[in-house]
């Protein structure tokens, strides 16, 4: 059974100030089945959960990512609020997958993303497996098509993996960008994809070949650090110039397990949060980011909520940096 559910407000708890000094005091829970997204003359951030690890299971990863969205919410709730009074932070519920039907779950996610964009809200999706990317991207495309907006969408993925595996056997958490590439080919549109943090020990030679064939731009982990930031900055800026909108996705397994132990495929060889934050400054400054998500949060393997705290801090950074 596929369900969409409103978030239980009890998840948004923390220190009480009575002055909205903390995010849990500012968040408004909205049921998209029966309520409209509130109108504001400021920014409207819409948090949406994707409680699904079916794609991870199919990709032979460690399951548990379905519990990720609520784990991130609990840590985000405690963080301080420095947003403007007319900025809305909305929790717009969760799409989950309870019967293993990944395709239908992604379709529900896609439609929900479209709905949020149509109501002038900026979607922030919390996963869940990285198969979130396929539904998320198609929700953006559906929105642009519905509104008659003929604009290009580029994808920036912070990740150790290309996630360009063939879906000939099945769709899973390792296939989303391959699926998107194939749909771009059918639509005779250019596949615009940049991957930051690629590790040679996490991708086989066939995946590197696929990336080359598809014209994927990437920075390998060896060069994805602050020592090489000027080069990285130029690559991101150039990518941003070539697209109208940017969909940004973060796979938490790209971080070193020193920062993110609670993921489906942990490794000590990943990147650090500092380089990601600096890259986000460039993406946000482009004024082209239309939506973003965080994938592969797996609380089953987390230590002292460290990964959930990292994910929450990334969301906190993006919404405050974008003011």
Per-residue pLDDT at 98: 82
Angle of helix 306-321 versus helix 273-285 axis, rounded to 10: 20
User: Residue 1 pLDDT > 60, yes or no?
Assistant: no
Per-residue pLDDT at 223: 98
User: Residue 313 pLDDT > 90, yes or no?
Assistant: yes
Per-residue pLDDT at 2: 56
Q: Tokens 């489906």 belong to which residue?
A: 264
pTM: 0.97
CATH superfamily of 2-321: Ureohydrolase domain (3.40.800.10)
**Alpha carbon distance 52, 218 (integer Å):** 27
User: Residue 164 pLDDT > 60, yes or no?
Assistant: yes
CA nearest neighbour of 26 among 70, 76, 67, 71:
76
Please check whether residue 296 is in contact with residue 172, taking contact to mean a CB–CB distance below 8 angstroms.
Answer: no
Q: What are phi and psi of 195, to 5 degrees?
A: -120, 125
Break the chain into its structural domains and give their ranges: 2-321
pLDDT digits (tens, 9 = 90+) for 2-39: 589 999 999 999 999 999 999 999 999 999 999 989 99
Can you list the alpha helix ranges (DSSP code H) found in the chain?
Answer: 23-26, 54-58, 68-77, 102-118, 132-146, 176-186, 205-213, 229-241, 273-285, 306-321
Per-residue b or e along 3-39, where b marks 16 or more CB atoms closer than 10 Å to that residue's CB = ebebbeeebbebeeeeeeebbbbbbebbebeeeebee
pLDDT digits (tens, 9 = 90+) for 45-68: 999 999 999 999 999 999 999 999
Per-residue pLDDT at 99: 87
Average pLDDT over residues 112-117: 98
Q: Which residues are annotated binding-site positions?
A: 130, 159, 161, 163, 251, 253
Task: Output the CA torsion 12→17→19→22 (10° steps).
Answer: -40
Binned at pLDDT 50, 70 and 90, residue 44 comes out as: very high
Give percent of the chain above pLDDT 90: 98
pLDDT digits (tens, 9 = 90+) for 263-304: 999 999 999 999 999 999 999 999 999 999 999 999 999 999
User: Residue 251 pLDDT > 90, yes or no?
Assistant: yes
Q: Which residues are annotated binding-site positions for Mn(2+)?
A: 130, 159, 161, 163, 251, 253
**Alpha carbon distance 231, 32 (integer Å):** 42
Instruction: Count the neighbouring beta carbons within 10 Å of the beta carbon of residue 273.
Output: 15
């Amino acid at each position: 059974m596929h369900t969409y559910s409103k978030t239980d407000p009890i998840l948004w708890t923390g220190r009480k100030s009575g002055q909205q000094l903390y995010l849990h005091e500012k968040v408004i829970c909205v049921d998209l089945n029966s309520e409209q997204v509130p109108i504001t003359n400021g920014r409207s951030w819409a948090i949406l959960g994707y409680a699904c690890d079916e794609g991870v299971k199919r990709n032979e990863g460690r399951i548990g990512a379905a519990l990720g969205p609520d784990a991130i919410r609990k840590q985000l709730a405690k963080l301080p609020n420095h947003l403007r009074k007319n900025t809305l932070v909305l929790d717009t519920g969760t799409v989950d997958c309870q019967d293993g039907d990944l395709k239908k779950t992604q379709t529900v996610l896609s439609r929900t993303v479209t709905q949020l964009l149509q109501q002038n809200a900026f979607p922030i999706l919390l996963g869940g497996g990285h198969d979130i990317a396929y539904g998320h991207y198609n929700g953006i495309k559906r929105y642009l098509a519905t509104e008659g907006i003929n604009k290009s969408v580029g994808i920036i993925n912070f990740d150790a993996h290309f996630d360009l595996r063939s879906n000939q056997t099945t769709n899973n958490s390792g296939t989303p960008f391959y699926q998107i590439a194939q749909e771009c080919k059918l639509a005779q549109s250019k596949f615009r994809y940049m991957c930051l943090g690629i590790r040679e020990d996490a991708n086989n030679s066939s995946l590197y070949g696929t990336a080359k064939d598809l014209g994927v731009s990437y920075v390998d982990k060896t060069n994805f650090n602050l020592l090489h930031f000027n080069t990285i900055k130029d690559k991101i800026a150039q990518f941003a110039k070539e697209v109208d909108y940017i969909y940004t996705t973060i796979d938490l397994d790209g971080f070193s397990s020193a920062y993110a132990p609670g993921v489906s495929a942990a490794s000590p060889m990943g990147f650090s949060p500092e380089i990601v934050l600096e890259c986000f400054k460039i993406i946000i400054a482009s004024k082209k980011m239309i939506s973003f998500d965080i994938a592969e949060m797996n609380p089953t393997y987390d230590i002292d909520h460290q990964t959930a705290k990292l994910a929450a801090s990334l969301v906190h950074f993006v919404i405050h940096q974008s003011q």
